[in-house]
Amino acid sequence: SVLEAFLLKADEIEIVDAPPEYVTRAAQSGSPPMLDTHKQERQLSELREIALVLAAEVVDYQLEEYLVRQGIEQVYGAHERILVFVTPRSNASLMIYRGRRQADRFHGELHVVYVQHDNLSPKDQRTLFDNLANARQANAHVEILQGEDPVALIVDYAAKNGITQIFVGHSQETGWVNYWKPDPVERLIMEAEGIDIRIFPQGEYRK
């Protein structure tokens, strides 16, 4: 085995990747059949996944170190980091579900952010409570931000946490248009340079 600290200092890392089925077939060529081939393929698949994730972590670490040395503000890393912005009117269930699935697919992180808003109705407060509870159940990092400019708060949070994608809800009648004036989605797209923005329509999501 190789120490992770050694890999973090490597000048170059090369991944020689092959599907587990190819490895087991090559090993069996000219030899007696292996016992429990499916088990070995599963183990090889897990090792392959660990190697790919570790390589991404090393690249991410070295990128962060380089940016710090050069005094460059970091925008994103090698991993996917999903930020889901929730409001009482957003389609939070769908956004959290899609964000969790996307983060798991790319071995990334899920952040769920809410900007503190006063004078919520009892119904909106219950909805917000449920949304944040769903986020915690999805093992998301939940953050409640405070400030007068939600767009600026989200862009700042995204930059500091290396966010690569932002999921937001939008409606022509309610939600963002009334919550952030004027044109909050367009402003977010312009200010969140280098970050992908995914816009979800309002409406209750059911699996």
Show the tokens assigned to 150: 């939600």
Q: Among all chains, which residue has been given the structure tokens 């405070």?
A: 146
Which residues make Cβ contacts (< 8 Å) with residue 172, sequence separation at least 6? none
Render pLDDT for 97-132 as a digit per residue (tens, 0 to 9).
989 988 887 778 999 999 998 888 999 999 999 999
Architecture of domain 81-201: 3-Layer(aba) Sandwich (3.40)
Render pLDDT for 57-66 as a digit per residue (tens, 0 to 9).
777 777 778 8
Q: Are 86 and 113 in contact (CB under 8 A)?
A: yes
Which residues make Cβ contacts (< 8 Å) with residue 45, sequence separation at least 6? 20
pTM: 0.59
The DSSP line for 45-67 is: HHHHHHHHHHHHHHHHHHHHHHH
- In the chain, domain spans: 4-70, 81-201
